[in-house]
Structure 1
Amino acid sequence: MTSQQEPIRVLHVSQPTDGGVAVYVTQACRDQMRRGWEVAVACPAEGTLPGNLRIHGVPHIAWTAGRAPGPKTLAESRQLHDIIGRYRPHIVHLHSSKAGLAGRMRTVHGTPLIFQPHGWSWLAARGAQRTASIRWERFAARRAKAVICVGEGELQQGQQAGVDAPYALVRNGVDLRRFQQADSSARFAARRLLGVPAEKPLAVCIGRVTRQKGQDVLAAAWPRVRERCPDAQLVMVGDGDMLRRVRVYATDGIRFVPPVADPRPWLVAADVVTMPSRWEGLPLAALEALAIGRPVVGTDIPGLTEVVTPDVGALVPMDDPAALGAEVARRLLFPELAEIEGKAAAQRAAGFDAMRTFAQLAVITQDLATAAYPVAGAPGTAYGREPVAQPVTRPASARPLAEAGPGVGAD
Structure 2
Amino acid sequence: MRILIVTSQFPIAGEPNRGRPIHQTVRELSTRAEVRVLSPVARYPRWATPRSYLYRASDPDFAVPGCDVRYVDYPALPAVSRPFNGWLCARTLHAPLREFAPDVVLSYWLYPDAFGAMHAARRARLPLVVGSRGSDLRVRDAISRRLTRPVLRAAQRILVVSEDLGRVAVRDYDADPAKIRAIPNGCDATIFHPQPQGDARAALGLDSGVPLIAYVGRLVPEKGLRELLDAVTALATRLTGLQLALIGEGPMRAELEARIAAMPGVRVHLPGAQGPREVARWMAASDLVTLPSYSEGHPNVLVEALACGRPVVATPVGGIPEVVDADCGLLVAVRDPAALAEGLAAALGRVWNETTLSRRFSRGWDAVAADTLRACEEAVTASKR
TM bracket, shorter-chain basis: 0.7 to 0.9
Determine the structure 1 residue equivalent to 2:50: none
Deviation per CA, 1:193-230, whole angstroms, max 9, x where unpaired? 11111122101001111133222221222111212213
Determine the structure 1 residue equivalent to 2:366: 355
**Whole-angstrom CA distance in 1 between matches of 2:182 and 2:136:** 18
1:344 aligns with 2:356: yes
Deviation per CA, 1:321-355, whole angstroms, max 9, x where unpaired? 111111112333x2xx2433x443222123x4333
Structure 2's unaligned 5+ residue stretches are: 43-54
Q: TM-score, normalised by structure 1?
A: 0.78
Determine the structure 1 residue equivalent to 2:51: none
Determine the structure 1 residue equivalent to 2:174: 163
AA partner of residue 289 (structure 2): V
Determine the structure 1 residue equivalent to 2:45: none
Q: TM-score, normalised by structure 2?
A: 0.83
Asked if the contact 1:145–1:368 (Cα under 8 Å) also holds between the matched residues in 2, the reply is yes
AA partner of residue 180 (structure 1): H
**Whole-angstrom CA distance in 2 between matches of 1:60 and 1:301:** 33
Asked if the contact 1:21–1:96 (Cα under 8 Å) also holds between the matched residues in 2, the reply is no
1:279 aligns with 2:279: no
Closer/same/farther in 2, CA of residues 11 and 122 from structure 1, 3 Å limit:
closer
**Whole-angstrom CA distance in 2 between matches of 1:47 and 1:306:** 33
Asked if the contact 1:137–1:163 (Cα under 8 Å) also holds between the matched residues in 2, the reply is no
Asked if the contact 1:15–1:67 (Cα under 8 Å) also holds between the matched residues in 2, the reply is no
Asked if the contact 1:43–1:64 (Cα under 8 Å) also holds between the matched residues in 2, the reply is yes
How far is the alpha carbon of 1:16 from its aligned partner?
2.5
Moved more, 141-150 or 42-51: 42-51
1:328 aligns with 2:344: yes
How many residues end up aligned between the 2 structures?
355
Determine the structure 2 residue equivalent to 1:89: 102
Q: 1:115 aligns with which of 123, 130, 137?
A: 130
Asked if the contact 1:295–1:338 (Cα under 8 Å) also holds between the matched residues in 2, the reply is no
1:12 aligns with 2:5: yes
AA partner of residue 227 (structure 1): T
Closer/same/farther in 2, CA of residues 357 and 51 from structure 1, 3 Å limit:
farther
Percent identity (aligned): 23
Mapping for residues 2-401 of structure 1, pairs under 5 Å: 8-17=1-10, 22-44=19-41, 54-64=63-73, 70-71=80-81, 73=85, 74-97=87-110, 98-104=112-118, 107-121=122-136, 123-125=138-140, 129=141, 131-165=142-176, 166-182=179-195, 186-250=196-260, 251=263, 252-262=266-276, 263-332=279-348, 334=349, 337-340=350-353, 342-350=354-362, 352-369=363-380, 371=381
How far is the alpha carbon of 1:77 from its aligned partner?
2.8
AA partner of residue 255 (structure 1): H
**Whole-angstrom CA distance in 1 between matches of 2:300 and 2:232:** 24
AA partner of residue 24 (structure 1): P
**Whole-angstrom CA distance in 1 between matches of 2:185 and 2:77:** 22
Asked if the contact 1:179–1:288 (Cα under 8 Å) also holds between the matched residues in 2, the reply is yes
**Whole-angstrom CA distance in 2 between matches of 1:249 and 1:306:** 33
Deviation per CA, 1:72-101, whole angstroms, max 9, x where unpaired? 613233113333233322222111233123
Asked if the contact 1:16–1:67 (Cα under 8 Å) also holds between the matched residues in 2, the reply is no
Asked if the contact 1:26–1:49 (Cα under 8 Å) also holds between the matched residues in 2, the reply is no
AA partner of residue 310 (structure 2): R
How far is the alpha carbon of 1:289 from its aligned partner?
0.4
AA partner of residue 295 (structure 2): W
**Whole-angstrom CA distance in 2 between matches of 1:85 and 1:173:** 32
Q: CA RMSD in A?
A: 2.9
How far is the alpha carbon of 1:249 from its aligned partner?
2.4
Asked if the contact 2:60–2:71 (Cα under 8 Å) also holds between the matched residues in 1, the reply is no
Closer/same/farther in 2, CA of residues 67 and 143 from structure 1, 3 Å limit:
farther
Asked if the contact 1:237–1:260 (Cα under 8 Å) also holds between the matched residues in 2, the reply is yes
The DSSP-based 3-state class of the residue aligned with 2:191 is coil
Deviation per CA, 1:243-301, whole angstroms, max 9, x where unpaired? 22222223232121110112111111110000011111101111000111100101111
Closer/same/farther in 2, CA of residues 44 and 187 from structure 1, 3 Å limit:
farther
**Whole-angstrom CA distance in 2 between matches of 1:311 and 1:67:** 47
Asked if the contact 1:202–1:272 (Cα under 8 Å) also holds between the matched residues in 2, the reply is yes
How far is the alpha carbon of 1:19 from its aligned partner?
8.9
